[in-house]
Amino acid sequence: MGKDTVPFLPRQHDDDIVVHADQFDEAELKRIIRALNLKVTSQRMAILKALHEGRRHVTAQELYEKLNKENPDIGFATVYRFLRTLTEGTFVTEVRMGGLPARYELTPKGHHDHLTCVKCGKICEFENKAIEGLQEKVANQFGFKLTHHILELYGVCPSCQAKNL
């Protein structure tokens, strides 16, 4: 794979994500909707619950497909518009990995970075204080005050490495 080549990442499966799951109860989900000055509706609650209860890092299409099974009255446009609104309100984080379609996750209560397998699409979330410190030092070196960042690392996971032996 060339240096400028965007890796192909296969579609993930629910068990392909290693996460540090934050817990949001129904009252917190309703507070998110109200904080956006929106009415709490069954469709908005279903979208938030699907984001919360499902795996993280879903595309709008994957979220729609999951919702459509139990809520056929929720259209793709509704899912996409609400994701955009949630993202603008910083309640949902949009992650763009390697130029692929945007993936969404409820904004975690704590920061984390991602390791993504280029063979199977598995995503591992991690936190590393040394890396965080180095990023601050680099920003300071160039006179930047960091507001936020996303670190994405790509490689081959142990399972895929073992399959290629």
**Considering the entire predicted model, what is its pTM?**
0.62
So where are the chain's domains? 14-163
Tell me if residue 13 falls in helix, strand or coil: coil
Report whether pLDDT(18) > 50. Answer: no
Q: What is the mean pLDDT of residues 145-157?
A: 83
Q: What is the mean pLDDT of residues 61-79?
A: 93
How many residues does the structure list for the chain? 165
Greatest distance between any 2 Cα atoms in the chain: 55
From the DSSP assignment, how many helices (H) and strands (E) are in the chain? 6, 6
Instruction: Find where tokens 């994701």 sit.
Output: 83
Rounded Cα distance, 161 and 163, in Å: 5
How many C-beta neighbours within 10 Å does residue 41 have?
Answer: 12
Q: Is the dihedral of CA 128, 133, 136, 137 positive or negative?
A: negative
8-state DSSP, 120: T
CATH number, domain 14-163, options 1.10.10.10, 1.10.390.10, 3.20.20.70, 2.60.40.1250:
1.10.10.10
Q: Give the orientation angle of helix 42-53 with respect to helix 76-88, to 10 degrees.
A: 70
**pLDDT value of position 9:** 46
**pLDDT value of position 110:** 65
**pLDDT value of position 71:** 92
Q: Are 126 and 35 in contact (CB under 8 A)?
A: no
57 is in an annotated binding site: no
124 is in an annotated binding site: no
